[in-house]
């Protein structure tokens, strides 16, 4: 049989680390921004404004959860940012249907 307290442990999904939530938020926001604001010849200015707001959110979130970011989490965060930069340049250089 199942243990009695099995379903009580994950109440509200409070066990997801803030670093994972930040990386997922960055990936989702960047994917939406790339789809909406990268055109055939230029990049819309709202894209850069939204990226700036996302950067401010990252700084706020990292400062708020300072104890969460140990050396491994910082390395994973930096790798995720580098992967997102690569995806940005890859998708912006692809031919678009104009």
Whole-prediction pTM = 0.76
**Alpha-carbon gap, residue 26 to 51, rounded angstroms:** 9
First to last CA, the chain: 59
Per-residue pLDDT of 41-74, as tens digits, reads 778 889 899 999 999 999 999 899 888 888 888 8
Predicted confidence at residue 12, as pLDDT, reads 58
95 band by pLDDT with thresholds 50, 70 and 90: confident
Predicted confidence at residue 54, as pLDDT, reads 92
Q: How does the average pLDDT of the chain come out, rounded?
A: 83
pLDDT over threshold 70, residue 6 = no
What are the residue boundaries of the structural domains of the chain, listed by start? 17-92
Count of other CB atoms within 10 angstroms of residue 69: 18
Please state which of the ranges 8-17, 21-30, 33-42, 64-73 shows the lowest mean pLDDT.
Answer: 8-17
């Amino acid at each position: 049989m199942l243990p009695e307290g099995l379903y009580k442990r994950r109440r509200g999904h409070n066990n997801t680390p803030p670093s994972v939530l930040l990386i997922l938020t960055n990936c989702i926001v960047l994917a939406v921004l790339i789809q909406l604001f990268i055109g055939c010849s230029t990049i819309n200015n709202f894209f850069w404004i939204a990226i700036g707001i996302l950067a401010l959110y990252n700084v706020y979130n990292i400062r708020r959860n300072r104890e969460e970011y140990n050396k491994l989490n910082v390395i994973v965060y930096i790798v995720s940012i580098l992967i997102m930069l690569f995806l940005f340049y890859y998708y912006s250089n692809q031919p678009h249907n104009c």
